[in-house]
Structure 1
């Protein structure tokens, strides 16, 4: 009798496992059928939104407010520290730790990013989102009360661990709550307002640091975080798949913890090599070369393991091989990379070359901030009308390439009208692109697969931003060391590079300052060439996102 029951249990478990690991094509067909039923429901004006797959209008608003606010704080925390670092180093006498204040956040986030997709698949999405957000808030609190540089670095790492699941979870919750035809407008609104966090970071950080304390760059997350919890706590989020308590013992397999144990050190070693190279150590040093070799070897083992795991892997190869998913991920990574780079180096131009204060340099970013916010919202509404997202990605990336090329002409004497116009072009270009890769992936997959794909897409943005910031830092430092001897031969180039944008006037005489400013602006210009190249690469990748209408359109609408 016991053996029969055991055989029955094993049979049920095998059936459950087969259902969980259905190939992409089968899930896609099921997804199209469910989306068609949802779209048919919302076509009628009197049809309610509180069906099984959707949530009511009254709960949609607080949910979107919570998700948008959480992503806003996450992106704000990425850039707000830039203008606070000089004051932090003064308090802790920790100039040697400057690189860690940003990299500890990025490394912790990137190393966990892919695992978050698996976590959202196996646990309730709302509560998982709130747990990640609570970890982010804990990290912010630790940074605010830090009594040493090491404590601040640990707090930044904890905040990065929390932020790894915020953006992925937010977009997965939206996908579970509304049909595909309504997602462009909602995601456009969410991204339009949340992206303000990235570009407003230097402005808010400069104002808080200058007039209150750098600690408020982190304390500001706490009251807004309380509103996020209050807005989302009572909202019921539909779940495309739920795990029972009996499957807890299968979690190590379902989460692919071995894959994570291989991927995390590979990502950390690569980011550390880029962080150390040209800064603490020379690029040809044994430390940097060893980190690169370790990252490469670990990555190879990780890929072999993921291939062995198949559809149960942290990155299913059947998903990664899909042209739409891979193209969307790379395109999103490139777009966010140039967004991060411009957000860091435009204030550097205003502060270093034009002599603006931290607060005023943030004000000078308003043309790109406002134009990007407007174009993100507008593009979401237009996609919902037109039904295609790829044209917006192509147009936006082309416009961003032109804008970055124009920004690469900035010089000490550039007129206000020019840098305002260039920023408007850049903001519109980025705004047109920002949500299109997310819509592309969500339009392709079944709801149960979206969290894993979102983890891949969001990881590409975080990883791309980290890589390009490292590249940009190397370009700036090497350019200063080579150009200052040309334009100001009697100036110590090392001293200028060490002083930073806000302190270069303290180490340079009035006679040598014009030449140093030319060298500084040309060095920053080279980073905008990097951004222009990223925009062009994004334009090429956008062609792989396909021409599939949103909402599970008919076969004749597909031109993939």
Structure 2
């Protein structure tokens, strides 16, 4: 029988020994044939030790989400210093390319190597990337730093959930997931506010420096505290470990993902959608992905993305639901601030404050629903409710215009936040509750990849809708205006080239164009609703040791 992989720092640290005394163990049921063995005594974490682990996981995930949006309001200052307007797209895409491409591999790493070590490794990359960005002397160095930070970010969400699953009894996990993910998502809302404040009063570099002291606290806590693994992991030499990671499969998947994401990045921006470059990237990505699927099928359960897991109803349904759900979240998160900045004509920092209602309501509902689902036992009612309420909220967003009152747009955000919060943790809870422990890290990696991919795809679609409608509506509402000049002037710079009589028409054009993106968001929320019932009517309270088909 395999022995559990222990951390050398755990055995050598006196402080660690003291903290370990607060750990408790619980009896675990019999294991099933064909799965990795569980310990006879299942070790959990309690007391101050649990609080510290929970706080560290929340803070690390918060920093990752903060890093996704904090740079938005700093970009103008960065481009002024580095004279790098043409590099703006890479400040975000360098991060997302590495993060999304590495995501499936994280599942294998967390399955076969100590979760604590892997998590600290990814967190070290995230901190290193932040350091390089803070010290950047030119645009290229900043882009490299963002790419390295993206490598680290790839394993943080999956790692946090894997660690919590090992530290906390199964029946308490839904509430803990709700707390971690709910609080972490504050980072998305606070990013533009904090980024604008730091850029204006200190320096844009502090958008990255801020990750280092807080990250240091997280690292120290996790190094000192013993964290058990979900499953017993063999201590394998490198030559035996590498084949289990399916590095060949990853080597095929990586260029496929990069080509497809680059095609989405380039299409309609640097190149037209019909250009040989974009078409070539799509074709190359598609062909490479087919080869990847063939390889994964050939090696079976050793694959990075095993078909045996994908075939399970709860798995594929959760992935599709998350694909549409995150598409909705990203489209609204991106275009709601643009509405406030262009149509309501407020600063980027103030637009961040104006978006707080949806984030705060989502956080509250995420925590509450996570507790409720552990009592009810069924995930489908909550996911269906999520799709319904999100659809209502997105439908209301399509009504936003220049004359929309403050009370009205706050009300719309409250409805939207309720819908978002209803579905924040449901697919995660379903996978963690209904799949065997040895499959959960891989399943979570696949789920997170699908949600990131969905966000990227629908943001590109939203951008295309926005651009097309804006060209059309400016020509319609402001006859005689130079459409290209107005758009080139930027979302707020157009005031410098137009007369006061033309302002109302431009505001209507921007409102209508943004409304078009909210119609797309409505489509994604309907997609969420349509696939929600596919997650199955299985009681998560009664399936701790039963296989899921």
Give TM-score scaled by structure 2 length.
0.91
Tell me the residue number matched to 1:65.
55
Contact kept, 8 Å, 1:122 with 1:242, in 2: the verdict is no
**Distance in 2 of aligned mates of 1:334 and 1:204:** 29
**Alignment partners' CA distance in 1, 2:379 and 2:35:** 19
**In structure 1, what is the equivalent of residue 281 of structure 2?**
291
Aligned: 1:406 with 2:396: yes
Unaligned runs of at least 5 residues, structure 1: 1-11, 14-25, 38-50
Task: Give the structure 2 partner of residue 503 of structure 1.
Answer: 493
Compute the RMSD of aligned alpha carbons.
2.3
Q: TM-score, normalised by structure 1?
A: 0.89
Instruction: Give the conservation status (yes or no) of the 8 Å contact 2:433–2:543.
Output: no
State the alpha-carbon separation in 2 of the partners of residues 276 and 294 from structure 1. Answer: 15
Tell me by how many angstroms 1:494 deviates. 2.0
- Greater shift after overlay, 331-340 or 189-198? 331-340
Counterpart of 1:42 in structure 2 is: none
Identify the match of residue 307 of structure 2 among 299, 317, 339.
Answer: 317
Which is worse superposed, 269-278 or 54-63?
Answer: 54-63
| CA gap 1:381/1:477 in 2 versus in 1, 3 angstroms | same
Query: Is the CA contact 1:30–1:446 (under 8 Å) kept in the aligned structure 2?
Result: no
Instruction: Tell me if structure 1 keeps the 8 A contact 2:36–2:232.
Output: no
Do structure 1's residue 259 and structure 2's residue 249 form an aligned pair?
yes
C-alpha displacement of 1:435: 0.3
1:93 aligned residue: 83
Of 356, 361, 365, 2:355 maps to 365
Secondary structure at 1:52 match in 2: strand
Kindly provide the CA deviation profile for residues 347-374 of structure 1, in whole angstroms up to 9, marking residues without a partner as x.
1110011110111111101211211111
Residues 1:341 and 2:331 aligned together: yes
The one of 250, 257, 282 aligned to 2:272: 282
Matching residue of 2:364? 374
Structure 2 residue corresponding to 1:175, chosen from 159, 165, 177: 165
Q: Greater CA deviation, 544-553 or 429-438?
A: 544-553
Aligned residues: 522
Q: Residue by residue, what CA displacement relative to the aligned partner does 1:30-64 show, whole Å, maximum 9, x if unpaired?
A: 989979x9xxxxxxxxxxxxx63322233111111
Unaligned runs of 5+ in 2: 3-29
Q: Which residue of 1 aligns with 2:375?
A: 385
- 1:438 paired with 2:438, answer no
8 Å contact kept, 2:267–2:278: yes
Deviations, residues 354-406 of structure 1 (Å, cap 9, x unaligned): 11011111110121121111111111121122222221111112101110111
8 Å Cα contact 2:369-2:421 kept in structure 1: yes
Q: Are the aligned partners of 1:113 and 1:456 in contact in 2 as well (CA < 8 Å)?
A: yes
1:322-368 C-alpha deviation (Å, 9 max, x unpaired):
11101111212222222122111111110011110111111101211
Paired residues of 1:181 and 1:550 also in contact (CA < 8 A): no
Q: Which digits, 9 at most, give the CA deviation of each residue in 1:258-279, with x for residues without a partner?
A: 1111111111111111111111
Would you say the 8 A contact 1:89–1:98 is kept in 2?
Answer: yes
CA contact (8 A) 2:309 2:439 kept: no
Q: Judging changes above 3 Å, is the alpha-carbon distance between structure 1 residues 379 and 548 closer, same or farther for their aligned structure 2 residues?
A: same
Deviation at 1:209, TM superposition (A): 2.0
- 2:125–2:148 contact (8 Å) kept in structure 1: yes
Q: Distance in 1 between matches of 2:388 and 2:80?
A: 42
